[in-house]
Amino acid sequence: MTKTASENTITLWRPVGAKELELIAQSGMRAFPPRLPDQPIFYPVLTEDYAVKIARDWNVPASGSGFVTRFEVRRDFIAKYDVQEAGGRSHLEYWIPAEELDAFNAAIVGPIEVVRSFP
């Protein structure tokens, strides 16, 4: 079954490695973990294709596995952020400052789902 956004939410994706996925699971699949000190920005992406590219091409070589998560965020929350283009028209993402990640997590509606995995 394909999950679709409602009028009040938008579907976003997040490519993650095994360690980040474990921390998401510890939250009951309801929140992303705090950023590390050298990670001032949290980057959810706007398309599954872009998330797949990152998970497959970056996460797998870096850590041996990559996963694509999908989740819904309240539109009224995400509207205050501009969509950023990261190296190409198909590479669209939001830049959420690390100090705003708790508020971002509170705006997630429903569970964070793993929709793709790569060895």
| CA 28 – CA 69 distance, rounded (Å) | 14
| Cα 68 to Cα 16: distance, rounded to the nearest angstrom | 6
Q: Is the pLDDT of residue 2 over 50?
A: no
Q: Indicate the pLDDT class of residue 1, thresholds 50, 70 and 90.
A: very low
Domain boundaries, the chain: 16-118
pTM for the structure as a whole: 0.92
Mean per-residue pLDDT of the chain: 94
- In this prediction, residue 88 carries a pLDDT of 82
Q: What is the pLDDT of residues 29-77, one digit of tens each?
A: 999 999 999 999 999 999 999 999 999 999 999 999 999 999 999 999 9
Structure tokens at 14: 């997040």
Beta bridge partners of 118: 66
CATH 2.60.120 for domain 16-118, yes or no, is: no
Map tokens 């994706």 to a residue. 13
Mean pLDDT of 94-107: 98
